[in-house]
Structure 1
Amino acid sequence: MKTPLLQFTDNGIYCKKANVYLDPWKPVDHAIISHGHADHSRYGHKKYITHHRNVPIIQHRLGEINVTGKEWGETFDVNNVKFSLHPAGHILGSSQIRVEYKGEGKTSILFGYSLGKAQRLLKYLNTDIGEIYTHGAIENMTEVLRPLVDFPKTTLITRETKKEQLLGNIVLAPPSAHGSTWIRKMVPYVTASASGWMTFRGARRRRAIDKGFVLSDHCDWGGLLESIEATGADKIICTHGYTDIFSKYLREQGYDARTEATQYGEEETEAALASKSTASV
């Protein structure tokens, strides 16, 4: 059985390969501290590592200690295990602690529609953990929107892009790229999809996605019902999504509701956008 990289012990969360503890609750030789609250930064460790903004906080609380401050995204190795600190948003200097051992061996591919979802993801991706590469359909649309929005830097994947360049970094791609020749050339990789459809049970498995994140650009069930009530509409025509289920529910609530067949797609015709792309690996 494979030993997990992090384990819970009597002293706290322990990384055996590095002989380092994360926020230990008993005295240890080597401790990485996430933030300054008393239950996470305790007295008695021989060596402390934390974000530099947390250094004066824990020195004020703990006195003379051996402490080293690190910057966001700065990597440091302990016995061939790579650690880095990333903003947690809890209190000043609070950190998420990233632990890697023989990592950076896969490309992270995140699927999102080329107009809207991809830019929403791009705006809030953490660029501390790597570069962001893009499929041509997403790059082209993002360039149209750059004069309007301050996006992070992206790099278009072209025929000259080597898969070694992508390892350990993030690739933004449209859903239509999943299973394509374009993506198969990036092996090894892990996939994730950001969509409102991830709310539904089994959606990730049905789409053959490793990870799923619920992120929708539309109203949810409750929001739709609130909108219908607010408008005072006499008739509701359902055209997107699970139209039969929703219209049936509305009729049960006393509304005059029905479905109507349209030529609207799930979001957009990704194939058309992709056909304009020069992206390949």
Structure 2
Amino acid sequence: MGDMVVVRKEGLYCVPGQFYIDPWRPVDRAVITHAHGDHARVGHGHYLSAASGVGVLKSRLGQDIHIDGIEYGASVEHNGVRISLHPAGHVLGSAQVRMEHKGEVWVASGDYKVEPDRTCVPFEPVRCDTFITESTFGLPIYRWESEQSIFDDINGWWRKNAAEGRCSVVFAYSFGKAQRILSGLDPTIGAIICHGSAEPLNRVYREGGVDLPPTKMVTDVDKAALKTAIVIAPPSAGGTTWMKRFGDYSDAFASGWMQLRGARRRRGVDRGFVLSDHADWPGLMTAIRATEAPRVIVTHGSIPVMVRWLRQVGLDASGFNTEYGDDEADEVVAADVPEEAGNA
């Protein structure tokens, strides 16, 4: 029997099931791992996602998309392939796709991280015969500090700025990263302001049962209160007229790429907080081992490095070339990314 999942021009294709996983071109049936723009696109005839991801997908792709959501661990059958979705720990509603056909099991990870956070269900290892893994930060240099230590740093920086009468601005991706940062902020320091691109997603997260502190739009905060506030905004807001209302502010950038030497300098911000919603190198290795899969296919990121390492430890490893980008790579200039990281 041939491979259960192959790469076509439309995306990753489950051959016996006749459906696609996170396709980048319009298809009839798409199983979506999560709602970031490089994995969830408009134009598909039918969408299947984790139940907790339906609200986010509708918020981003339109309320009228034809979508079904299933709970984590539940299964549906399509053309003889049993499909189930399992927590990926990446963002709200993120899932790994488990496919079983004639006794063989494949799992496509989508994007994932193994460190639990307060905004999504923790990663759940799924045993399989073949594991398709991301490799966004698939280099040994990437090793994250604990989430709480990063939150402590952010709150300490904000508290110091507030004491000096200076607004604090954190640039972060509007979906996932913004909500994760919000979940760790100390609201006793001052007002928390969110850019208009993040606020609708905050509502979806709250509706999904995620506890986030109260947030305000900038128009709801008086000028005096702005001096002790923290602002969460997408990188695209930098340098726009929207930023001028905050006066003399201190800014920061939150991304896994902030671990790279020179990334903060090239972004031109005061602080860089190393916070990623992707697994670091130890996390990737932990996740792969936990699947007990003898075969691993590496995609979007540091493919050659990971494939070489996995072969050295005795696994049957190869790569898939895909069109997936990275929600964090959009936040830094290309010069900050090592050559081995490809499109990460």
TM-score, length-scaled by structure 1: 0.52
Q: CA deviation at 1:221?
A: 0.6
Q: Secondary structure at the match of 1:240?
A: strand
Q: Does 1:243 align with 2:276?
A: no
Query: Distance in 2 between the 1:198 and 1:268 partners?
Result: 10
Query: Distance in 2 between the 1:249 and 1:232 partners?
Result: 16
Within-5 A mapping of 1:210-221:
210-221=270-281
Q: CA deviation at 1:142?
A: 0.2
Q: Specify the alignment match of 2:195 in structure 1.
A: 135
Q: Specify the alignment match of 2:240 in structure 1.
A: 180
Q: Does 1:192 align with 2:252?
A: yes
Query: Distance in 2 between the 1:152 and 1:121 partners?
Result: 10
Within-5 A mapping of 1:89-100:
none
May I ask how many residue pairs the two structures share in their alignment?
174
Q: Secondary structure at the match of 2:181?
A: helix
Q: Specify the alignment match of 1:7 in structure 2.
A: none
Query: Distance in 1 between the 2:196 and 2:255 partners?
Result: 20
Residue 269 and residue 204 in structure 1: after superposition, are their counterparts in 2 closer, same or farther (change >3 A)?
closer
Q: Secondary structure at the match of 2:236?
A: helix
Alignment check: 8 A CA contact 1:176 1:270 kept? no
Alignment check: 8 A CA contact 2:295 2:315 kept? yes
Give the counterpart of 1:223 among 283, 290, 296.
283
Alignment check: 8 A CA contact 2:182 2:213 kept? yes
Query: Distance in 2 between the 1:114 and 1:253 partners?
Result: 38
Alignment check: 8 A CA contact 1:105 1:188 kept? no
Q: CA deviation at 1:136?
A: 0.6
Q: Does 1:208 align with 2:268?
A: yes
Query: Distance in 2 between the 1:171 and 1:104 partners?
Result: 16
What does the per-residue CA deviation read over 1:177-197, in whole Å, with 9 as the maximum and x for residues that have no partner? 233343355342211122222
RMSD of the TM alignment (CA)? 3.3
Aligned residues: percent identity? 47
Q: Secondary structure at the match of 2:293?
A: coil
Give the counterpart of 1:151 among 212, 219, 224.
212
Q: Specify the alignment match of 1:3 in structure 2.
A: none
Query: Distance in 2 between the 1:102 and 1:207 partners?
Result: 23
Q: Which has the higher contact order (CA 8 A, sep 6+)?
A: 2
What does the per-residue CA deviation read over 1:195-217, in whole Å, with 9 as the maximum and x for residues that have no partner? 22223333322332211122222
Query: Distance in 1 between the 2:206 and 2:330 partners?
Result: 20
Residue 270 and residue 216 in structure 1: after superposition, are their counterparts in 2 closer, same or farther (change >3 A)?
closer
Q: Secondary structure at the match of 1:212?
A: strand
- Point out the structure with max Rg over C-alpha: 1
Query: Distance in 2 between the 1:118 and 1:246 partners?
Result: 29
Alignment check: 8 A CA contact 1:136 1:157 kept? no
Q: CA deviation at 1:268?
A: 7.9
List gaps (5 residues or longer) in structure 2. Answer: 1-155, 332-344
Residue 177 and residue 248 in structure 1: after superposition, are their counterparts in 2 closer, same or farther (change >3 A)?
farther
What does the per-residue CA deviation read over 1:60-94, in whole Å, with 9 as the maximum and x for residues that have no partner? xxxxxxxxxxxxxxxxxxxxxxxxxxxxxxxxxxx
Residue 260 and residue 251 in structure 1: after superposition, are their counterparts in 2 closer, same or farther (change >3 A)?
same
List gaps (5 residues or longer) in structure 1. Answer: 1-95, 272-281
Query: Distance in 2 between the 1:177 and 1:156 partners?
Result: 14
TM-score, length-scaled by structure 2: 0.43
Q: Does 1:109 align with 2:151?
A: no
